[in-house]
Structure 1
């Protein structure tokens, strides 16, 4: 149905100056919406048949110019919406013209989000966003587009392109969830209207497949913990100790272990904020963990483990060091796993998953600890952990060894 744009003298409302306001009237699908032009006119100077000021109207030229500018803006917006085959109502048309969104491209919003994450010292998450940004640019050739340009068809074509480049389903899922998160930021910051949100019709949850098993049995874990090192390799000792510490301390991951200091030990508990999620974690300090901490005690180093030291001052230096050490530790763990005939490649992350799995198989309620501690399920797990008394967590962790 056609859309009409008129300017009328609103006779039903008389102002204090005995004039009537001029109103913009938008009609679509038999529904009307009105918007004041901010000026008024004496009704004797208005031609109600032709909806325009009479010849003898004071300021006639200025009023005609304002009417032309306003109606032009609405007609141009209607043409743009029809050209892109996007539906609209009289109300949404007024909002789009009267309250335009901030003109920011997709690349600009991505860049700002990446900069924000780096400032918050969430380096891993920032780099993940940067990887998605580069992927989107490679696919679309550029990202000097607006979020309203990203519709369901655009998303489907991007998915097809990723699959043609042999990108795994889980990696595709990560990229789409990141894009969705940035789109939500754009909506929140009023860069794009919610009506353009394409993820109500494009199902991101389908982009997930079962991952390779990352946990091992309690017997296999004990064989790693009790592994005898006779070759004097310091990285073998460190690898076993970090694996053990992660397992007995609620699956703490490698990066968080690297940044631990004596200040994180309070009243017999390990208390720290997760680097990835900034979630506060409080875990009872196990006897085995205390022994490991004592083993690496060094008054010259503020950190609990010999991963970082005072030499590493900038975030980049710390990140480079953590990456170097985890590569060596995981390489040694893999060799140990092969020697012990463990059915999967051994890494520090296996300790994290095994912590959850062993507790579950020991009968611990899934409300306290879920089978997986990664990504979306990890958030749910941490919420549940925080909602229980410390004594319940303490009791549950007695099943680990």
Structure 2
């Protein structure tokens, strides 16, 4: 094996009290690096040959106990190295990668610490939606765990069942629990892939995440027409919310966040071209006469770099993302008012335009593969979830045809 580790003093970093940090000296293919153990000692009390603190040291109640702690850290590091060697991974890692494997075992024994590190990384790459999902899980788990830290080994089948009971005791839904559990599972899978915890620790082998069918989100074509024909003044906020809904429907059911970030520069040769933020799928949609009527209103006297819709007000992406979240909340409240004005009994939200587009496409015999591409889905199964239930009136028509044969 071309890798070894030993306890040593880092004599390059003398402290004010003349002591030196106690480190693990890692050597990997003739390269060396150090891993600090958070303790320091003066040179006279360090036994370099035997890699331990001399008995004459008076800075601790028990020198033996301190040496055992240091030896334990070295043994743990050796175990990690041996495990990497047995998996035939060690020779294909750089020294910094080996060091990272050892450090992470210490730093991320806490589920919360590791989750927070993921959140930080997601925020750095401006994936604020995913970051918020991870943050929501850590927040509710901290409340469930009464503010105490949570170790990876503590999240087992029994823990998940207790968290499930806690969730339901607060009057929450099965699908709400599924969102939390899927996020916990995603964090666990990342930790396993990073070598922070072993596969054997995976708590979802026996715990199955359950979901219940959601209410029908699509509305029929008559409801869409009633929204389109609704008379509203330009000074009324509902005027904009109606236009957002119709624009989303005419742009393949585009999400509110993608629509909010559209700029005039996305309009090219009577088409709207952009990338979906969630999947990076490219869109290239022809502007119909109905859509053009809406766009003309919002693009008047604007520059190419301006946003089309009056949703985003601030400069940095993080603040712009918050602008969109707040606007979407107001938008959904506005859609409730529009539903009342149009006598639509079904709950109207920003997602309804997307589901309605998919359902109408299906009713027009558009192939499933085409609907999937228009929605920007990576998998047909995702599209099938959107279309899992035909509207009741369609089934009634089919039944009528069968009966009249």
The TM-score by the shorter chain falls in which range? 0.5 to 0.7
- Whether the 8 Å CA contact 1:224–1:336 is kept in 2: the answer is yes
2:220 matched residue in structure 1: 217
Q: Which residue of 242, 246, 256 maps to 1:240?
A: 242
- In structure 1, the gaps of 5 or more residues are 1-60, 63-68, 78-89, 385-401
Check conservation: 1:251, 1:351, Cα contact below 8 A.
yes
Distance 1:91 1:261, change over 3 A: closer
Distance in 1, Cα, partners of 2:345 & 2:338 = 12
User: In structure 1, what is the equivalent of residue 253 of structure 2?
Assistant: 251
Change over 3 Å in CA distance of 1:332–1:167 after alignment to 2: closer
Name segments (4+ residues, structure 1) moved above 4 Å: 98-101, 370-373, 381-384
**In structure 2, C-alpha distance between the alignment counterparts of 1:219 and 1:379, rounded to whole Å:** 30
**Cα distance in 1, alignment partners of residues 143 and 342 from structure 2:** 44
Larger Rg: 1
TM-score normalised per structure 2: 0.64
Matched, 1:297 2:296: no
- Cα distance change on mapping 1:252 and 1:91 into 2, 3 Å: closer
Q: Map Cα deviations across residues 368-398 of structure 1 (whole Å, 9 max, x no partner).
A: 225996xxx94425998xxxxxxxxxxxxxx
The 1:138–1:114 alpha-carbon spacing in structure 2 relative to 1, beyond 3 Å, is same
CA 1:383–1:172 in 2, change beyond 3 Å: closer, same or farther?
Answer: closer
Q: Secondary structure at the match of 1:201?
A: coil
Q: Does 1:129 align with 2:128?
A: no
- Summarize the Cα distance change of 1:91–1:112 in structure 2 as closer, same or farther, 3 Å threshold: closer
Per-residue deviation at 1:328?
Answer: 3.5
What does residue 168 of structure 1 align with? 173
Which structure 2 residue ranges, 5 or more long, are not aligned?
1-48, 51-67, 77-81, 91-100, 384-405
Residue 281 of structure 1, aligned match among 278, 283, 296: 283
Q: Normalising to structure 1: TM-score of the pair?
A: 0.65
Corresponding position of 2:97: none
Match of 1:144 among 149, 166, 181: 149
Compute the RMSD of aligned alpha carbons. 3.5
Q: Which residue of 1 aligns with 2:359?
A: 357
SS at match of 1:276: coil
Deviation at 1:324, TM superposition (A): 3.9
Secondary structure of the equivalent of 2:105? coil
Q: Which moved more, 1:328-337 or 1:128-137?
A: 328-337
